[in-house]
Structure 1
Amino acid sequence: MQLSSWLRLLFALVGSVLFIDGAVLIAFKKIHIGTVLPLLLGLFFCVYAFFYYHIERFFFYHFRLHSIWRFGWLCFWIWLISLGYFFNYLAENNSETQTTPPVRAIIVLGSGVENGQPSATLAKRLDRAAPVALAQPDAKLVLTGGIDFGETQSEAEVMSSYLQQKHHIPASQILLEDKSTSTELNLKNSQPLLQAQHINIQQPIVIVTSDFHTLRAAAIARKQGYRHISMLGATTPLATRYNAWLREYFAYASGWLLDEY
C-alpha cells in the first residue's frame, strides 16, 4: 500500500473517532470548545481523506495557495505538540490536598447542570466535597454557579438540592452563589458571602473542583487574595476527560490573556 493510501486511512480513522466523540457529547448538551473542536477536526479529516487526491492535485497547480496550505499544517502540528505537552502537564501535576485540615469554608466550583440534575462532572465534585462538609459542620459550604442555557434553576440551587438529598447536608451550612458563569466569578462572587459570615479569604478555605482544574483554580484564587487555600480534586469521568482537558487548554490561554492569574 502506498504512503498516500496509509495517510488517507489514518485521517479517515482519526477523523471518524473525533467526529463521533464530538457529536455524541454535543447530543448530550455538552457544547463547548472541548466537544465542538473535535467534531470540526474530525469532519475536516474525513473530508480530506475522501478528497485527498483532488485536494493535493489542486494545491500542486496553485503554488501560493500550496504554501499557505503547508504553513497551516505546520501551525497545526505545532499546536498539537503544545497540546500534548499540556495534557502531560495536567496528568503529572493534578494538585490536591490528600487530607483536609480544619477550614472556615468549603467552596465548590460549578460544572454544568443537565435536565435539572448535576452533570456527571459536577456530581463528582459534590461527592468529593460532602465528606469534608460532614466532618466539619462549622465550615460554611459555598456552592457556586449561575443558570445554564436551557435550565430554570441555577447550578448552585441544583447543587444544594443534591447535597441535601443524597448526603443530608443541612441547609443551614450552605451558602448559594448563583450568579457566576466562570471560575473567576465563582471565586470573586463567593467573597461577599464569606464576609457576611465573618470569614476572611486569608483564612483556611478548601476549594473543590475537578482534578484537571485544580491548578488553574488555585492560581485564580491566589490572584484574588485567597491566601490559605487547599485544593480537593474530583476524578473526571473517562468519557469526558480528554474533552475537558482540551477545554482547559484554551481556558488556560484565555485566563492568561485576561490576566486572571
Structure 2
Amino acid sequence: MRVKRIIKILISITFAGIVFILLCNVWVVVSTRPNSYFVVDSLPTNQVGLVLGTSKATSDGEENLYFKYRMEAAARLFNEGKVKSLILSGNNDSKYYNEPQDMEQAMLKLGIPKSALLLDYAGYRTFDSIIRCKNIFKQDHITIVSQDFHNARALYIAQKEGINAISFAAQDVPAGYSLRTLIREYLARPKAVIDVHIYRPETSGYNVMQ
C-alpha cells in the first residue's frame, strides 16, 4: 500500500513537471514573438547588438554552424546599419576556451572594425549576458543576435529585467544537426522563468573585459 502511494506521488510529480515545462516553453515563445525579427529590412535600428556566444567548434572538432551563422548575422546587421556596435558575450572559463575572443576573430575576418566590438568575458550563461549588458555595459535598448530558438529565452529574460530588447534570428542549422542543443534549450526555458521570478542567481558584478 505504501509502495503504491509513493508510485502515485512520483507519477503526479512527474506529470506536474512535464506540464510546467510545456507551459513555460509556450509562454516564453508566445510572449516574445512580437519582438522577434527574421528579415533585416523590417528590423528596427538600435545602437548596440548583443551577440550571444557559443563554441566555434563542435565536440568532434568540426565547424559549429550555430557559431558561423550567428557571426554572419551580426556582421550583416552592422554592415546594413541596423546596429552601430556589437557586444560579444560568451564564456571564458579557462585560458583554453575563450568564446568572446573567438567571436572577435570571426567578426574581424568578416570585415567588422575592432573599434565596433566590445568583449564580455563573463557571459557564462544567457542570463549573465543579459544582466551584464544592462548593469556593466549600461545598455537598455539592444538587439539580441542568436538563432531563433535561443532568442526567445534571451528576450524573455531581457523583458523581465526592464530592457527594451528585440532579436534578430541568425540562419538556422539543418534539421537534426544538434538534437541535444534543442533539448537543452527546451529545458533551459523553464529554468529561465525560475531564474527571473524566483531564484535570481548571482551574476558577475564586475567588469570582466580584457
TM over 0.5: yes
SS class of match (1:163): helix
Aligned pairs for 1:14-93 within 5 A: 63-89=1-27
Which residue of structure 2 aligns with residue 230 of structure 1?
Answer: 166
Residue type at the aligned position of 2:84:
A
CA distance in 2, matches of 1:171, 1:74: 54
- Contact 1:128–1:234 (Cα < 8 Å) also in 2: yes
Q: Say if 2:146 is the partner of 1:209.
A: yes
* Distance in 2 of aligned mates of 1:248 and 1:118: 26
Contact kept, 8 Å, 1:118 with 1:155, in 2: the verdict is: no
* Deviation per residue, 1:141-166 (Å, 9 max, x gap): 110013146x614211111112222x
**Which residue is 2:52 aligned to?**
109
Q: Does 1:121 align with 2:66?
A: yes
- 1:139: which partner in 2? 84
Residue 220 of structure 1, aligned match among 157, 161, 170: 157
SS in structure 1 at match of 2:122: coil
Shift of residue 83 of structure 1? 2.9
Supply the distance in 2 between the matched residues of 1:88 and 1:232 (Cα, whole angstroms). Answer: 20
Identity, % of aligned positions:
20
Distance change in 2, residues 1:226/1:243 (3 Å): closer
Larger radius of gyration: 1
Contact 1:137–1:173 (CA<8 Å) still a contact in 2? no
Aligned residues: 189
Q: Which residue of 2 aligns with 1:186?
A: 129
SS in 2 for 1:242: helix
CA distance in 2, matches of 1:181, 1:137: 26
Structure 1 counterpart of 2:113: 170
C-alpha spacing 1:88/1:259, structure 2 compared with 1 (3 Å):
same
Query: Of Structure 1 and Structure 2, which has the larger fraction of its residues in helix?
Result: 1
Residue segments in structure 1 that go unaligned for 5+ positions in a row: 1-62, 196-200
- Whether contact under 8 Å (2:53, 2:89) holds in the other structure is yes
Q: TM-score, normalised by structure 2?
A: 0.71
CA 184–190 in structure 1, closer or farther in 2 if over 3 Å, else same: same
Distance in 1, matches of 2:11 and 2:79, equals 53
Q: Aligned to 1:147, what secondary structure does the other structure show?
A: coil
Over residues 58-89 of structure 1, what are the superposed CA-to-partner deviations in whole Å (9 max), with x where a residue is unaligned? xxxxx212210221022212322333344445
RMSD between aligned residues? 3.2
5+ residue gaps, structure 2, are 202-210
- What do residues 2-46 of structure 1 show as CA deviations (whole Å, max 9, x unaligned)? xxxxxxxxxxxxxxxxxxxxxxxxxxxxxxxxxxxxxxxxxxxxx
* Contact 1:211 1:234 (8 Å CA) reproduced: yes
**Distance change in 2, residues 1:137/1:88 (3 Å):** closer
Measure the CA separation in 1 of the matches of 2:78 and 2:45. 11
For 1:108 and 1:130, the matched residues in 2 are separated by 10
Q: Which has the higher contact order (CA 8 A, sep 6+)?
A: 2
Query: 1:127-184: per-residue Cα shift (whole Å, max 9, x none)?
Result: 32221011128701110013146x614211111112222x222222211111221223
